[in-house]
Amino acid sequence: MYSSFNKKVIKMPNKTNLSIGAVIALLIAAYLGLDLQQSQPLIPSASDTTIETLDSEPNLVPSQKTDDLDRIARAFQHRQSDLQVRSSGQVVAVLPDDHEGSRHQKFILELPNGQTILVAHNIDLAPRIQNIQKQDQVEFYGEYEYSDNGGVIHWTHHDPARKHVAGWLKHQGRTYQ
């Protein structure tokens, strides 16, 4: 029944090889942060970011519309980090932009209790605050990180990967997110 003709052997991929390939593809997608159900682009540019009016309260529910001045003071006292906080302060120094890695606009605020904090605002992901000067008032919603000098506020912008709470800065009636 079998002929002596040259036969081509066609091998079908087995289920194990297909499963391994599928797992590798999923791991690569997870590593790159791909969301297959997401319809918006992963990384919007800063020019796509909206600037809202002072009346809006982005990313806050009514119970969160409080000042976290005491939480910031306690976090500094206890050397705590990774706290999402909201407060405001007066600009006491405008620093040069940081260009290492993601670009950040930097300035120092003095809070009403006298504590100073560095604000590091990512200007690759959010618009820069134009014309910021000493003695200006700035309200913020971002993540507090402990430092010996009073602390740092960062994540004052949206998160393109949508894995972190979006923050913002308010200056002269405009919200920068």
In the structure, what pLDDT confidence band is assigned to residue 177 with cuts at 50, 70 and 90? very high
Q: Which of 30, 41, 26 is nearest to 158 (CA)?
A: 41
Decide: pTM greater than 0.75.
no
Is 168 among the domain residues? yes
Is 50 among the domain residues? yes
User: CATH number, domain at 112?
Assistant: 2.40.50.140
Is 24 among the domain residues? no
Under DSSP, the state recorded for 169 is E
What residue has token string 């519309």? Answer: 65
Is 130 among the domain residues? yes
Average pLDDT over residues 10-25: 57
β-pairing verdict for 116-122 and 152-154: parallel
Cβ atoms of 155 and 177 within 8 Å: the answer is: no
Under DSSP, the state recorded for 114 is S
Instruction: Provide the domain limits for residue 103.
Output: 46-176
Is 1 among the domain residues? no
| Segment 118-130, tens digit of pLDDT | 999 999 999 999 9
Number of domains present in the structure of the chain = 1
Count the Cβ atoms, other than its own, within 10 Å of residue 119: 24
| Segment 131-152, tens digit of pLDDT | 999 999 999 999 999 999 999 9
Is 27 among the domain residues? no
Is 31 among the domain residues? no
Quote the tokens at residue 100.
């290492």
- E-strand ranges in the chain read 51-53, 83-98, 104-110, 116-122, 137-145, 152-154, 168-171, 174-176
| Segment 81-105, tens digit of pLDDT | 999 999 999 999 999 999 999 999 9
CA separation for the pair 163, 76 (Å, rounded): 25
Cβ atoms of 85 and 76 within 8 Å: the answer is: no
Left if phi > 0, otherwise alpha if psi is -120 to 50, otherwise beta: which for 101?
left
Is 25 among the domain residues? no
Consecutive H or E run containing 29: helix 15-31
Under DSSP, the state recorded for 154 is E
What residue type is 76 in one-letter code? F
Q: Which of 167, 172, 19 is nearest to 82 (CA)?
A: 167
